[in-house]
Amino acid sequence: MTLDIITFVNKQQNNMLHKLKNILFNIFVKKFMYLCTNENVKMNLTEEKQKNLITFFLKKNGGQIERLELMKLIWMSDRLHLNKYGRTISKANYFALPYGPVPSRIFDLSKHSSDSFKINNFNVLALTEFNSDFFSKSDLEIMEYTWLKFNKMGSIRFSDYSHKFPEWLRFKTQLENGSYSKSYPINMQDFFEFPDLEEFIDVLTVEEIKHSQIQYNEHSSFQEFLNN
């Protein structure tokens, strides 16, 4: 009799646990799908992260930095993180402009004063502290690496340097012969090519790049599926 009671209780507990797991799983799926499909939520979180990405480099440079140099630091951070971890840090769409690749939305943000920074001619000045809560450990690792490697290059040299990369070279003729207001959408697959990979041997391997490209392509296909 006692054994039957114990068996019954265990069965009831297992049933309750199973139901609880199903409930939690359904909540997770609904939450995940909501975040995946709710554009307002995604846009707000992405914009806050992008503002803090700007602030990171402003603070690293004593509170202000020239916009052109800022765009190049963000571009390189995104490029390296994409190749090492399969995604960009900023989630920005990139365009090729005469002065190099540019994260479009971040470029627009950096042209207007906000609660996070103010604009003084071609310089961007920080108004708030950097909030690391928006960033993963790998984000911060690559942002720090990029700053240490490129902060002495300066905006003009950095711009010229970016012209060696395939995402800009693809539009070299049009950009050099056209208006300075011209811009061309960049195919992110070009980010997986390097003019000289040896330069980044301390942070990237060929295997990491190959794996990251596969991961990026799978994620892009999944996002396309969700949006259709």
Residue 109 has pLDDT above 80, yes or no: yes
Confidence at residue 45, expressed as pLDDT on a 0 to 100 scale: 87
- Identify the band that residue 21 occupies on the pLDDT scale cut at 50, 70 and 90: low
Higher pLDDT, 45 or 120: 120
For residues 24-40, give the mean pLDDT.
57
Q: Across the strands, what pairs with 123?
A: 66, 120
pTM: 0.81
For residues 180-195, give the mean pLDDT.
93
Cα dihedral 96, 75, 51, 62 sign: negative
Spell out the long-range contacts of 113-122 with Cβ–Cβ below 8 A and sequence spacing 24 or more.
Answer: 114/51, 116/51, 116/52, 116/54, 116/55, 117/51, 117/54, 117/55, 117/58, 120/64, 122/66, 122/67, 122/68
Question: pLDDT tens, 49-71?
Answer: 999 999 999 999 999 999 999 99
Confidence at residue 16, expressed as pLDDT on a 0 to 100 scale: 67
Question: pLDDT tens, 38-54?
Answer: 555 556 889 999 999 99
Confidence at residue 62, expressed as pLDDT on a 0 to 100 scale: 97
